[in-house]
Amino acid sequence: MIDTVKSLCRHIVFSQIRIAVERLHLSNPTFAQTNSLVSTVMSASTTTLRYPGYMNNDLVGLLASLIPTPRCHFLMTGYTPLTVERQVNMIRKTTVLDVMRRLLQTKNIMVSSYARTKEASQAKYISILNIIQGEVDPTQVHESLQRIRERKLVNFIDWAPASIQVALSRKSPYVQTTHRVSGLMLANHTSIRHLFSKCLGQYEKLRKKQAFLDNYRKFPMFADNDLSEFDESREIIESLVDEYKACESPDYIKWGMEDPGEANVVAALDSKLVV
């Protein structure tokens, strides 16, 4: 997925259950209710494709601005307002500012709390795209972005443009909702690295105990006890974690350059841009 997939949105089962319990007040959420959260997000992510406008009407254009570097393509999602079947008739007053502000709250992000809270002060947004559905005046979007900027609600990386991108979309005429505006956030955030670090830690424990390896040795690829595929995968994930951590630094552009001459060229270009 790291070297071949162009983009990937991560939905963690535990995060869906957390949202269902904390946000929707469901004491024992069912599979249908947690799956409805994922289907809502996936449906909202394609609204600009199904109801195209002047911008963001194809998948390439939608993802190009979210993934500035090829390997850092793991996206987080957030959605508001969330409702379940029994809450359909509840009326919620939503404005563009309310929706965009709630999307930035960690409790609305569909990722494990381990990634949302660990070293939260150091983690930064690489990019954000908000898809706003409903009756929206573009001036409201501009005013909302200005308010968010004034309150400093977002911590962006230092080496790329620090701005929230917004795409406006029509609501589905086949789905009746009581709220006027809804929003989906697609975000590239450096805290996703903590999920991969956690996976590495779990892998190391299993590998140390030689757990489940017999199931793999039944296949010709691993018949000679050749576990190089596992080692290579571990190294790839380790390098991904290092790259996401490097994204938090202002010097990320120079990260990974083995040739000192390349670093000097980048430094010279940076100095010209400053001048």
CA terminus-to-terminus distance, the chain? 40
pLDDT, position 274? 41
Percent of the chain scored above 90 by pLDDT?
32
Mean pLDDT of the chain: 80
Mean pLDDT, residues 90-96: 69
pLDDT, position 158? 92
Task: Give Cβ neighbours of residue 1 (< 8 Å, ≥ 6 apart).
Answer: 8
Q: Which residue has the higher pLDDT, 143 or 34?
A: 143
DSSP letter assigned to residue 272: H
pLDDT, position 273? 39
Mean pLDDT, residues 146-171: 91
pLDDT tops 70 at residue 1:
no
Q: Which residue has the higher pLDDT, 259 or 174?
A: 174
CB 199 within 8 A of CB 237: yes
For the segment 162-184, what is each residue's pLDDT rounded down to a tens digit?
889 999 998 887 777 778 899 99
Task: Give Cβ neighbours of residue 156 (< 8 Å, ≥ 6 apart).
Answer: 124, 125, 126, 162, 163
For the segment 35-57, what is each residue's pLDDT rounded down to a tens digit?
888 888 888 888 888 887 777 77
pLDDT, position 20? 65
CB 168 within 8 A of CB 141: yes
Instruction: Please give the C-alpha separations between residue 169 and each of 38, 63, 202, in angstroms, as whole numbers.
Output: 19, 16, 41
Q: Which two tokens stand for residue 49?
A: 């494709």
CATH 3.30.1330.20 fits 8-188, yes or no: yes
For the chain, the domains span: 8-188, 196-274
| Per-residue pLDDT band at 124 (split at 50, 70, 90) | very high
Query: What single string gives the DSSP state of each residue in 77-146?
Result: EEEES---GGGTT------HHHHHHHHTSGGGB-S-HHHHHTTTTT--EEEEEEEEEES--HHHHHHHHH
| Per-residue pLDDT band at 252 (split at 50, 70, 90) | very high
Q: How many angstroms separate the CA atoms of 265 and 27, rounded?
A: 58
